[in-house]
């Protein structure tokens, strides 16, 4: 029997892996950073989301959904970039230079969608604007990181968490939009997860600040 990538069993595996990854992501985000359970849950999330994101391109050969493609590319960018935040090997630097193209292209694409939305086309305005800002922020961070990789550890922690939260947000979007049939609106399946993601990013920048109190002199 020849495997058919569009049969219900393939889609079920895709959903199960994605849901498992989302649960692991919840655990990673909710546990102490650097702890054993955080690292293990983060690895499960990352390892599962990579094949899930790749499988999206197979499903898209039957029905093209631009938002699904954007989400898959965002995951394929965010997870390797998050891992490379703590690596300075030549291979990691090379991959970061290649990966930088993805948020840049997605920023341009979603930016064009935003321009269309404000010129009268029937495209939601809030979603493209938020996605444009997200990808623009990631590309801006990449430029600074590629120019100077000799950053302090806390900067790398924030960079890692930012990208893992972005990947988690897109995973949540996919589950809400395609994994379960709740007849949710565009706002509920795209805007709300992305806004929640940005609240998480803001919290990480506040909690993992590079500014530390100066120890009192004896």
pLDDT tens digits along 152-192: 888 888 899 999 999 999 888 877 776 555 566 666 677 87
| pLDDT for 29 | 85
Percent of the chain with pLDDT over 70: 84
| pLDDT for 56 | 86
Query: Does 151 score more than 70 pLDDT?
Result: yes
- Looking at per-residue pLDDT, the higher value among 103 and 151 belongs to 103
| pLDDT for 178 | 62
Burial of 214 (0-12, 13-18, 19+ CB in 10 A): exposed
Average pLDDT over residues 213-218: 41
Q: In this structure, is residue 7 part of a structural domain?
A: no
Q: In this structure, is residue 18 part of a structural domain?
A: no
For residues 167-179, one letter each, b for 16 or more C-beta atoms within 10 angstroms of the residue's C-beta and e for the rest, the string is bbbbbbbbbbbbb
Could you read off the pLDDT of 1-11 as tens digits, one per residue?
445 556 677 77
Parent domain of 147: 65-207
| pLDDT for 182 | 56
Q: In this structure, is residue 101 part of a structural domain?
A: yes
Could you read off the pLDDT of 92-132 as tens digits, one per residue?
889 999 999 999 999 999 898 888 877 765 655 788 888 99
Domains contained in the chain, number:
1
Q: In this structure, is residue 142 part of a structural domain?
A: yes
When the pLDDT of each residue in the chain is averaged and rounded to a whole number, the result is 82
From the DSSP assignment, how many helices (H) and strands (E) are in the chain?
A: 9, 0
Cα dihedral 29, 209, 78, 109, rounded to 10, equals 120
Q: In this structure, is residue 53 part of a structural domain?
A: no
Q: In this structure, is residue 128 part of a structural domain?
A: yes
Percent of the chain with pLDDT over 90: 33
| pLDDT for 214 | 44
| pLDDT for 186 | 63
Give the CA count within 13 Å in the CB-facing half-sphere of 65.
Answer: 14
Q: How confident is the model at residue 218 (pLDDT cuts 50, 70, 90)?
A: very low
Q: In this structure, is residue 25 part of a structural domain?
A: no
């Amino acid at each position: 029997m020849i495997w058919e990538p569009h049969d219900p069993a393939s889609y079920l595996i895709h959903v199960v892996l994605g849901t498992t990854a989302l649960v692991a992501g919840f655990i990673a985000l909710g546990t102490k950073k650097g702890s054993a359970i955080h690292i293990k849950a983060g690895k499960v999330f990352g390892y599962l989301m990579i094949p899930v994101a790749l499988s999206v391109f197979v499903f898209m050969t039957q029905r093209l959904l631009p938002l699904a493609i954007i989400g898959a590319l965002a995951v394929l960018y965010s997870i390797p970039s998050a891992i490379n935040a703590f690596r300075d090997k030549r291979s990691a630097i090379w991959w970061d230079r290649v990966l930088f193209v993805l948020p840049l292209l997605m920023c341009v694409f979603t930016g064009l969608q935003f321009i269309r939305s404000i010129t009268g086309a029937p495209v939601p305005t809030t979603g493209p604007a938020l996605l444009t800002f997200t990808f623009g922020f990631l590309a801006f961070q990449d430029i600074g990181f590629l120019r100077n990789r000799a950053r302090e550890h806390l900067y790398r922690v924030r960079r890692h968490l930012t990208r893992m939260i972005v990947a988690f947000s897109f995973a949540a979007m996919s589950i809400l939009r395609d994994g379960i049939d709740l007849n949710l609106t565009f706002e509920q399946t795209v805007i709300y997860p992305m806004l929640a993601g940005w609240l998480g990013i803001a919290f990480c920048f506040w909690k993992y600040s590079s500014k530390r109190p100066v120890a009192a002199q004896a």
